[in-house]
Structure 1
Amino acid sequence: MEPAIVRKDDAQSGWRPWPHRLAVVTTAATFLLILVGGVVTNTGTGMAVPDWPTTFGYNMFLYPWSKMVGGVLYEHTHRLLGSFVGSLTLTLAVLLWAVEPRGLVRGLGIAALAAVVIQGVLGGLRVVLAAAGLAIVHGAFAHAFFALVAAIAVFTSRGWRAAAPLVRSAGTVRIGRLALWTTVGLYAQIVLGTLVTHRGARLDAHLVGAAVISVAVIVLGFRVMPGRADWPELAGPTEALRALWLLQLLLAAGAYVARFHAVEFPLGAALSLAFPVSHRLTGSAMLIASLVLTLRAYRRAGWFATETGCETLSPKALA
């Protein structure tokens, strides 16, 4: 067997591919889990399986496939996929602790492991206690976990570890701050959207939030794109954020009609389900695009310092 070829620049930066690959897989699996969770929520099948951690008395992993029909199929698939994401997160946390020299990233791995355990317990208690309020918390917390594993994927990427000249300018600082507030606003929008989905409440606040986010995305585009030659790594997430924003506006209209008006869609129930679920997924994707932009902008602005293998926040940038 031939020895693995290690790029010289990777060896110099200390970059290892497997933590990043596993973080990307975990992020993708979490996105799929949010998709299935959206189907469960919008079909009203969250209580299709009335017990936990068992499934109709069976070991969850041994439940017969022949009995997985209708709402049971949606809910049980959600549970199995959640267990898969939990296993990936455990593996990621162990791998980061074993090979990652940066304390911040190791800490994020432990935080992700704790978060996925909490999320699983929240989902189980929602069933055991038949608590609709916990369903809202469970849905909102899912996106916080999603953002956390996506951040780990960014921190473990080759581009993050590779040496690059920093542009400590007022422009990158302003971009970073606006992107940060946009990320916070997007998460707040997701929480409000969860309330709208589960209770039909706070639609007014959700619409106001959409207007604020729209302004933020437009301003970010005007600030980032003219200087893309100076900070090319900021252009990608900015373009993705703008494209997702336009798509989200269309999906929002469809989701609103599907939720609050008795309109017959051309494809019936399938399209009525597709609009709110796609709206949820696009919001999740916008959150990650904004988060990536935030992290990259602050790195450009000098907020992160890599010294002696330890990733820390720069004290000067925090002052």
Structure 2
Amino acid sequence: MGMAKVWVVPEIQDQKLKKISLEMINLARRLGEVEAFLIGDGVSALAAELGNYGVSKVIVAEQADLKTYTTAKYARVLAEGIKREQPEIVLIGNTATGLDLAPRVAQRVGAGQISDVIDYVEGNFIRPIYAGKAFQKVSPAAYPLIVTVRPNVFPVAEATGGTAVVEKAEVSLTSDDLRVLVREVVRQVSSRPELTEADIIVSGGRAMKSGENFRILEELADVLGAAVGASRAAVDAGWRPHQDQVGQTGKTVSPTLYIAAGISGAIQHLAGMSGSKVIVAINKDPEANIFKVADYGIVGDLFEVIPLLTAECKRLRNVEQAG
């Protein structure tokens, strides 16, 4: 493929670029000439930031109606932008929003879609299949192509100090596109990072025995600056909200460090976290499935091991700060 025109569709939260946006730019720079299609309200200021990360052109689709995401509005605006500008490849985050948007846009523009991409090697996009037990190489046969990119897999693009040409896109929304109104977005405020973006995750399973017991995992997480996750068993028992669930029916995560406490390692859970760079498992059962994927295994009672781990991490942190 020559110099393809590659679009990144940045994901924005609180008028800031989410980390996945900068990860997609990194991949896009390997694929061709990088442009961005920015949708929102009052987002023009982000164009300079995108230029700084190596985006050559930013097309801004801006209107008050586009301040909050709804499927119909964003699908219309992005599909019309693609038809008009004809990029070969469009990168969208494999996030809750991206998974909603990508297939609808692909259908509207007659594009193929490759989902949950974790690498690009010699002209092939790589994506996991069979709950992460095998990898599929997909080579593009036709364009345009919509590609959803798994968060936390590609490094964040390095700043180039460049500037982007900024163009305004025409936005024409119909009353049909505006049928769904978002009255407000209610966010749970947490000092911990979001699961899919976290560098470190501490997860608990059935062996936690109760919701109150997750406090020991939260203490460890706060020392490490980590997010707290849970297995489906812990969520089904009502100990943690569904948004904390890691696995096939929860979130797919790719942290640098994943600590699994009292998780047996059902195939559905492994599907959600096997992309972690380093896995530490703590379980009383030496035969637990989780040990097959773990880089480090501790056979022991998590109620003894986790507090020791927390104390040791605190000690190391204090040594570091003193040094």
Give the shorter-chain TM-score range: under 0.3
Q: More helix per residue: 1 or 2?
A: 1
Tell me the TM-score normalised to structure 1 length: 0.24
Q: What is the TM-score normalised by the length of structure 2?
A: 0.24
